[in-house]
Amino acid sequence: MSFEDLNLHPSIIKAITEAGYTTPTPIQQQAIPELIAGHDVMASAQTGTGKTAAFMLPALHVLATPSQIRSRGPRILVLTPTRELALQVSDAAKKYGKYLPRINVISILGGMPYPLQNKLLSQPVDILVATPGRLIDHIQRGRIDFKRLQMLVLDEADRMLDMGFIDDVETIAAATPGTRQTLLFSATLDNAIDKVAAKLLKTPQRIQVATQKAKLDNIEQRLHYADDMSHKNRLLDHVLRDEKVKQAIVFTATKRDADTLADNLYAQGFSAAALHGDMNQRERTRTLKRLRSGGLQVLVATDVAARGIDVADITHVINFDLPKFAEDYVHRIGRTGRAGATGIAVSFASNKDSAHLSKIERYTGQRIASHIIPGLEPRIKPRFQNNGPRNAPSVTQKRKRSPFAGHDNRPGFGVANESGRARNGQRGRTFDDNRTFGHGNRGNSAFRNNNGNKAGYQSARTK
């Protein structure tokens, strides 16, 4: 099947041809005809399957015919759980809609100044991409006219549910015309999602493509057992110094750990920065821009902040801490292996994570093979939970006490003095200027010992 077979407006075909797409992905093949026929659709599709185009192309197709209703309000509304995802959806809309006349796409996101948003909303809008909380504020202030709204898209509905946005989503839907077409995209379609769909969609077509398993096929999953934080830090240093790493995302459990780890990687000579929900929108956008331009080698992120990041050069995803939910594991590792590329996903786990690991493996239907790095063997022999042998670190490789054991056990510490200074700059300089990265960590001795980086830190702070 080709895009021409989907009966999309020629201006849209022109834009996607220019983007280099030749064949619609399975979700696009199934969803686009249903959507052009005007049906409501609920689809299970992971990020990376082409789901954004699956709803955006039919949305733009709708816009190709002028509205008969006099209003300046949006004709298409896309709700996303995070600001990052919203910005990607907006970018996709602009990219695919560039040959349609005058398509105005705006994003209304938390963390952006209200006066600017009020100004955006006072102009005629075709596509409005928003996070639910901030949009509700504007609706309550009477700033949005939904009279001519034709399509409501709930992107990553499962995530909106997890994050407690569903009441807001229902309130927003209630403010839109009952005649609208409603689309729901979610990583999984389970009972909770069915309930949301039953309230908001009208006899939806259900589309299920690419199982988790198929989706993850281009990603090599590796497991490293780690004794403690210091061991994790040394493993991380080793993984990141592999020359095959173009760009990497490291996931931590908390925002604080993301900051600390980014600071310390930076101190060790990596062009690294953190991304999490406590940063303001400007900082987040700037960091993401650097990631996209290739100026940032290592992004240290929390789950929510990294959702939806789509950068082709991300070769490695590292779970410094395992995610709390198995579903997040799939979202995290899906940041690599984008658009047909291959990727490597490395997870660090300790003994106490074994039940959790089993949960993740059950969810993905795939076993994560454990790997050992010579010289960085785990001291403790991992226990297994109903998993059988997991390509386990053998007894011959065990109990070698690391010469680095006993160092500061905060994330990112423990390597700078041994290896960071000597290696400092080798990596960082290959990516953009060190001075533009990092959040700094004044009290960190590893940082102070690291040649030249203090100045770098200060300049990063004052930028």
The site for ligand AMP (CB under 6 A) is made up of 21, 23-25, 28, 47-53, 310, 338-339
Between 79 and 460, CB nearer to ligand AMP: 79
Q: CA-CA distance, 388 to 133, in Å (whole number)?
A: 46
Residue 39 tokens, joined? 């049906």
Q: With DSSP H G I counted as helix, E B as strand and the rest as coil, what are the percentages for the chain, rounded to 5?
A: 40, 15, 45
- Cβ neighbours around 295 below 10 Å, total: 17
Between 53 and 416, CB nearer to ligand AMP: 53
Q: CA-CA distance, 139 to 173, in Å (whole number)?
A: 11
Q: CA-CA distance, 181 to 364, in Å (whole number)?
A: 32
Between 25 and 44, CB nearer to ligand AMP: 25
Between 155 and 168, CB nearer to ligand AMP: 155
Between 2 and 179, CB nearer to ligand AMP: 2
**Torsional sign, CA 86, 91, 93, 94:** positive
Q: CA-CA distance, 204 to 41, in Å (whole number)?
A: 5
Nearest alpha-carbon partner for 322 in 310, 333, 311:
333
Between 49 and 434, CB nearer to ligand AMP: 49
Between 21 and 413, CB nearer to ligand AMP: 21
Q: CA-CA distance, 25 to 22, in Å (whole number)?
A: 9
Distance of CA 460 to the CA centre of its chain: 25
Q: CA-CA distance, 103 to 128, in Å (whole number)?
A: 11
CB of 45 to ligand AMP, least distance (A): 7
CB of 46 to ligand AMP, least distance (A): 7
CB of 151 to ligand AMP, least distance (A): 17
Between 116 and 339, CB nearer to ligand AMP: 339
CB of 21 to ligand AMP, least distance (A): 4
Place of tokens 């993905």: 364
Between 95 and 256, CB nearer to ligand AMP: 95
* Inter-residue contact 61 to 16 (CB < 8 Å): no
* Inter-residue contact 323 to 315 (CB < 8 Å): no
Q: CA-CA distance, 194 to 212, in Å (whole number)?
A: 19
CB environment 360-380: b (16+ within 10 A), e (fewer)? bbebbeeebebebeeebbbee
* Inter-residue contact 263 to 376 (CB < 8 Å): no
* Inter-residue contact 162 to 303 (CB < 8 Å): no
CB of 184 to ligand AMP, least distance (A): 15
In order, the DSSP letters of 312-366 are: TTEEEEEESS--SSHHHHHHHHTTSSGGG--EEEEEEE-GGGHHHHHHHHHHHT-
CB of 304 to ligand AMP, least distance (A): 17
CB of 60 to ligand AMP, least distance (A): 14
CB of 271 to ligand AMP, least distance (A): 23
Between 308 and 393, CB nearer to ligand AMP: 308
CB of 43 to ligand AMP, least distance (A): 11
CB of 205 to ligand AMP, least distance (A): 19
